[in-house]
């Protein structure tokens, strides 16, 4: 219920993002808007996948262009959907519109492209592998959960990427009753901190500590 409310709030706040998500336009959010944390992203999603960008589909007008991605790995949920479309998105087009590759060691800050233009990342490269958080719309179809300035469409090198490992942890915790999640975060932090020879485990433990303390990144204007 909480995840669905967050999703609906984000949708309302981003009502102009599809229109704004083109070069030369900008979006804005209300002062009370809070960027979803990593656990909140996992909670909001009915399904989480790694999906490879395969193409582009023109929409009804210039602002309704769509990037098509093929899910290849299921990180949360029961069934891998056949395809995902990111509305208001484009494939990169030469020097004038290029996709920025996500930092492989980052777990908190969004891709820099999410901090400009439409407040969500909207330019992608063919072949990119994206971690996408999917929710069901009013018709029951799975669509990407997009939220301003968040890590809702980060690209990764593959299944062994740090971000994928972190998302798997948060996805598992998101399935627990809400009252059990903080205790599980504490438990996983302790367990991951014992893996001192694994920098990814230590990085995820540090990120979970931030999550546990409720620290958030600011919303950007």
What's the pLDDT band for 32 if we cut at 50, 70, 90? confident
Is position 169 within any domain? Answer: no
At residue 13, does pLDDT exceed 90?
A: no
So what's the pLDDT on residue 220? 60
pLDDT (0 to 100) of residue 26: 60
Q: What is the pLDDT of residue 183?
A: 98
* Tens-place pLDDT, residues 58-86: 988 877 899 999 999 999 999 999 999 99
Window from 3-17, 128-142, 144-158, 204-218 with minimum mean pLDDT: 3-17
* 81 C-beta neighbours (distance < 10 Å), count: 17
Domain that holds residue 19: 2-158
Produce one character per residue of 190-205: b if its CB has 16 or more CB atoms within 10 Å, e if not: eebeeeeeeebbebbb
Question: Is residue 194, in this structure, part of any structural domain at all?
Answer: no
Residue 46 in domain: yes
Whole-number percent of the chain with pLDDT over 70? 87
Q: Residue 198 falls within a domain, yes or no?
A: no
Residue 88 confidence class, pLDDT cut points 50, 70, 90: very high
Mean pLDDT across the chain: 88
* pLDDT at 211 exceeding the cut of 90: yes
Check which CATH number belongs to the domain holding 97 and give it. Answer: 2.40.50
**CA distances for 137 relative to 31, 45, 158, 214, angstroms:** 26, 11, 28, 28
For residue 39, with 0-12 CB atoms within 10 Å meaning exposed, 13-18 middle and 19 or more buried, which class applies?
buried
Residue 5: which pLDDT band, with cuts at 50, 70 and 90? very low
**What's the pTM?**
0.87
Q: How many domains does the chain have?
A: 1
């Amino acid at each position: 219920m909480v995840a669905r409310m967050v999703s609906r709030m984000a949708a309302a706040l981003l009502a102009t993002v599809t229109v704004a998500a083109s070069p030369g336009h900008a979006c804005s959010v209300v002062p009370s808007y809070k960027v979803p944390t990593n656990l909140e992203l996992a909670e909001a999603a009915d399904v989480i996948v790694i999906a490879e960008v395969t193409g582009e589909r023109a929409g009804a007008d210039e602002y309704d262009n769509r990037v098509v991605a093929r899910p290849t790995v299921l990180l949360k949920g029961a069934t891998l959907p056949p395809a995902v479309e990111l509305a208001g998105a484009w494939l990169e087009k030469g020097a004038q519109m290029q996709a920025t590759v996500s930092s492989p060691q980052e777990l908190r800050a969004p891709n820099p492209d999410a901090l400009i233009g439409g407040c969500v990342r909207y330019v992608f490269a063919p072949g990119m592998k994206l971690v996408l958080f999917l929710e069901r719309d009013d018709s029951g179809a799975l669509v990407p959960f997009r939220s301003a300035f968040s890590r809702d469409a980060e690209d990764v090198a593959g299944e062994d990427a740090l971000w994928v490992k972190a998302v798997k942890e948060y996805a598992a915790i998101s399935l627990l009753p809400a009252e059990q999640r903080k205790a599980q975060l504490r438990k996983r932090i302790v367990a991951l901190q014992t893996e001192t020879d694994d920098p990814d485990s230590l990085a995820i433990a540090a990120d979970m500590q931030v999550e546990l303390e409720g620290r958030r990144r600011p919303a950007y204007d």
